């Protein structure tokens, strides 16, 4: 069993034991009781640490913790996915002629991903250094400021030039895309920091029994955001059209009224995220610091008990309260006899620097252990492969969706429709393409008669059908099975299924392209693919990343694994930007991803188990792999001897089913971490 000697942990800047200010208690008022008098008599130690964990594990699924973690993750996910909805509107309103190296979309995506990687590293490590509570609202405040910046971005003062009649951009005092790049980088930092914070809040404040469902539910907000973002964009276009401000037959690129309404639509779609973000900030300013941070990093067990009792108050007269009273009596007696009542320590800047040196020294020793180092390497590589696969299929890109929905067999009808447009519209489009080819980036559909409003509606509907539905169903399925199957097995099976789906989907796309037929079968397989993505690697890898590491390194190592994944996303996004999203390019990527999926499935075999059979003690769990064959053999013999010939077939089937789906229980976070002599370098 892994023993956690919390008194040996490095101690960053500490605060005195005192109740939080009255104004911060609002959301948690139903939990409020002041256990400071009790807690101050409880000296740190393994026995008292177990008491902290018992208090947390005494609770059920905590919906208030879920609301705090999920609301922030929903806001950050929406901010990320809304860009895919509004990009065509940017290109339509602000012509990207010659800007950002003639590829504004690629530049904006890459900068956002870089910012996300930076935010993951910073947010994770600062959560270990400063505490989870100090960052609870900081990353969302960054997201809110960056969102305001995106919504307010403009060209500044514009002057019409003589060349403007040829659809060249007018002279302006600012560049819209330069501002978007800056604000999207800052937004990426906020989004990236939210990943470790939401995961840590959910993992450290949830009971051991509900941890899997809690984390799966929090990450389900990502799928919900994929549905919400296009739905909001679709509603905004519908409202504008119902008010008569956006005629469906208005295609003229020079129509200032059309640009004005589209400009309002994308700003409204982006700004909606401020509502859940503000609510999440209010919630997080009132949630207490996690008990595991107090005990696992600060070494302050009394403060940990106080935080745990705030969130999980014990019923009067319960066994837990009786034990607390017993501890209270013992500690009072010890104090009256001249003993020490606690070990709360104040540190200054020098101590923090000393803590930093000890932290890095301890982290190095931790990672030098074969098991610990391999855990970080494996989960980082899996995240990298998962992001390569996810961003490689590009299904959140309007251009990729248009490729998938393109029906070559109807090209003749499109040509006829194109011929029916007015001569003025055709001349305007031709002049625009000649002087600014990037301007046509908003025309994601091969049918050139589509208006910008129709393009926005079309992209939103396609995204919901292909991406959102499968993702939501996958997250729902994962919540149902997360505690019935081992996480590692879920990953292996889903990666294998994804490999098969990549092969089938790539082949069907290639075949339909060669035959000049629609890609309906391919679209269905893409929906199934998104289901297996979210029921497996897209969610389970994120869950394991927060479960595998001890409290003192949890945020930092989660950030390292997540940032490694974004390196894969940045790389594959650049490749997609160069190769394009044509049928052949997409089919080739899908077929190439078969090998990546198989390699990822093999790599999953190196992951440790974070669950055990229900009713199995930790010692028994450690010997399980040694005696599994003997136990199975004894069980089969016993069942064979007790069963009658008539019941034999039914009993055998039941035994196989129970062997396949055995009741599982989560290990505590403290049990999952490797047994290491990690803390020898820490100050005693």
What residues does 3 pair with on adjacent strands? none
| Tokens 């393409």, residue located | 433
Cα 90 to Cα 83: distance, rounded to the nearest angstrom: 10
Beta strands in 74-228 (DSSP E): 158-159, 171-172
Indicate the burial class of 417 (C-beta count within 10 angstroms; 0-12, 13-18, 19 or more): middle
Tokens read off for 285 = 């300013």
What value does the mean pLDDT take over residues 386-403?
87
* 452-463 and 211-242 helices, crossing angle to 10°: 160
Distance between CA 311 and CA 290 in Å, rounded?
Answer: 10
- Write 326-335 long-range contacts (CB < 8 A, 24+): 327/38, 327/41, 327/42, 327/48, 327/51, 328/38, 328/41, 328/42, 330/41, 331/41, 331/42, 331/43, 332/41, 334/41, 334/43, 335/41
Where does the pLDDT of residue 169 fall: very low under 50, low under 70, confident under 90, or very high at 90 and above?
A: low
- What radius of gyration, in Å, describes the C-alpha atoms of the chain? 28
Write the CB contacts of 484 (distance below 8 Å, at least 6 apart in sequence).
661, 663, 664
Each residue of 583-607: pLDDT tens digit?
899 999 999 999 999 999 999 999 9
Q: How far apart are CA 95 and CA 489, in angstroms?
A: 49
pLDDT tens per residue, range 528-556:
999 999 999 999 999 999 999 988 899 99
Cβ within 8 Å of residue 66, ≥6 positions away: 202, 214, 217, 218
According to the model, what pLDDT value does residue 348 have?
A: 42
Contact, 284 vs 72, CB < 8 A?
yes
Backbone angles phi, psi at 458, to 5 degrees: -65, -45
Taking the whole predicted model, whether its pTM rises above 0.85 is answered as no
Percent of the chain's residues with pLDDT above 90: 38
Extents of the domains making up the chain: 1-15+43-57+294-315, 63-284+371-410+450-611
Q: Say whether pLDDT at 290 is over 80.
A: yes
- pLDDT by residue (tens digit) across 293-302? 888 888 777 7
pLDDT, position 683: 34
Q: Which tens digit of pLDDT belongs to each residue from 174-186?
A: 888 999 999 999 9
119: CB partners within 8 A, 6+ apart: 139, 142, 188, 189, 190, 191, 192, 193, 194, 195
Tens of pLDDT, residue by residue over 332-361, are: 566 566 544 444 443 444 456 676 777 788
How many angstroms separate the CA atoms of 344 and 42, rounded? 11
Rounded to the nearest 10 degrees, the angle between the axes of helix 370-393 and helix 520-535 is 160
- Which range has highest mean pLDDT (1-5, 192-196, 579-583)? 192-196
| Better pLDDT: 48 or 63 | 63
Measured distance CA(239)–CA(269) in Å, rounded? 12
Q: Residue 150: pLDDT above 80?
A: yes
CATH class, range 63-284+371-410+450-611: mainly alpha
Task: Give which of 582, 550, 604, 222 is closest to 386, Cα–Cα.
Answer: 604
């Amino acid at each position: 069993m892994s023993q956690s000697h919390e008194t040996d942990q490095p101690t960053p800047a500490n605060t005195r034991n005192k109740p939080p200010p009255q104004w911060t208690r609002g959301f948690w008022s139903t939990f409020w009781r002041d256990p400071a008098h009790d807690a101050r008599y409880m000296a740190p130690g393994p026995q008292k640490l177990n008491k902290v964990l018992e208090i947390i594990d005494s609770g059920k699924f905590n919906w208030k913790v879920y609301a705090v973690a999920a609301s922030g993750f929903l806001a950050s996910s929406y901010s990320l996915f809304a860009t895919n909805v509004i990009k065509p509107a940017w290109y339509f309103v602000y012509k990207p002629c010659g800007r950002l190296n003639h590829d504004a979309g690629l530049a904006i995506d890459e900068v956002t991903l870089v910012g996300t990687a930076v935010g993951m590293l910073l947010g994770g490590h600062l959560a270990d250094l400063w505490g989870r509570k100090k960052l609870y609202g900081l990353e969302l405040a960054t997201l809110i400021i960056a969102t305001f910046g995106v919504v307010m971005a403009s060209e500044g003062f514009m002057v019409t030039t003589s060349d403007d009649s040829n659809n060249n951009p007018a002279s302006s005092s600012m560049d819209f895309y330069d501002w978007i790049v800056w604000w999207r980088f800052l937004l990426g930092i906020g989004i990236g920091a939210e990943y470790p914070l939401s995961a840590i809040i959910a993992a450290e404040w949830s009971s051991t029994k509900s941890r899997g469902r809690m984390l799966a539910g929090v990450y389900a907000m990502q799928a919900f955001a994929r549905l919400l973002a296009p739905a909001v964009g679709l509603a905004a276009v519908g409202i504008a059209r119902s008010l008569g401000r956006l005629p469906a037959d208005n295609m003229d690129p020079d129509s200032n009224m059309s640009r004005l309404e589209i400009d309002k639509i994308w700003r409204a779609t982006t700004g909606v995220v401020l509502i859940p973000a503000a609510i999440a900030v209010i919630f997080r300013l009132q949630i207490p610091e996690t008990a595991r941070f107090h005990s696992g990093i600060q070494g302050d067990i009394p403060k940990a008990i106080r935080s745990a009792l705030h969130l999980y108050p014990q019923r009067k007269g319960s066994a837990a309260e009786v034990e607390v009273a017993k501890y209270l009596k013992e500690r009072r007696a010890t104090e009256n006899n001249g003993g020490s009542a606690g070990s709360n320590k104040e540190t200054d800047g020098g101590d923090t620097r000393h803590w930093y040196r000890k932290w890095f020294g301890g982290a190095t020793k931790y990672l030098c252990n074969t098991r610990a180092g391999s855990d970080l390497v494996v989960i980082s590589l899996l995240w990298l492969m998962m992001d390569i696969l996810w961003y490689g299929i590009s299904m959140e890109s309007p251009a990729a969706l248009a490729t998938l929905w393109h029906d070559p067999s109807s090209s003749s009808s499109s040509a006829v429709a194109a011929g029916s447009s007015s001569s003025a519209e055709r001349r305007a489009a031709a002049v625009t393409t000649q002087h600014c080819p990037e301007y046509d980036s908003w025309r994601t559909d091969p049918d050139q008669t589509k208006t910008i409003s129709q393009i926005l509606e079309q992209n939103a509907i396609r995204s919901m059908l292909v991406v959102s539905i499968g993702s939501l169903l996958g997250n729902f399925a994962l919540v149902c099975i997360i505690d019935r199957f081992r996480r590692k097995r879920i990953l292996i099976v889903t990666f294998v299924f994804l490999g098969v789906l990549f092969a089938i989907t790539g082949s069907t796309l290639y075949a339909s392209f060669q035959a000049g037929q629609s890609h309906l079968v391919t679209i269905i397989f893409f929906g199934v693919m998104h289901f297996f993505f979210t029921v497996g690697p897209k969610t389970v890898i994120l869950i394991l990343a927060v479960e595998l590491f001890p409290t003192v390194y949890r945020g930092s190592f989660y950030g390292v694994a997540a940032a490694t994944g974004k390196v894969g996303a940045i790389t594959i996004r650049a490749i997609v930007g160069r190769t394009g999203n044509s049928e052949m390019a997409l089919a080739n990527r899908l077929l190439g991803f078969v090998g990546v999926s198989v390699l990822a499935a093999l790599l999953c075999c190196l992951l440790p188990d974070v669950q055990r059979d229900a009713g199995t003690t930790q010692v028994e769990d450690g010997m399980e792999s040694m005696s599994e064959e003997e136990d199975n053999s004894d069980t089969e013999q016993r069942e064979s001897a007790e069963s009658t010939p008539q019941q034999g077939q039914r009993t055998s089937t039941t035994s196989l089913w129970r062997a396949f789906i055995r009741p599982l229980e989560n290990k505590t976070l403290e049990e999952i971490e490797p047994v290491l002599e990690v803390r020898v370098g820490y100050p005693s």
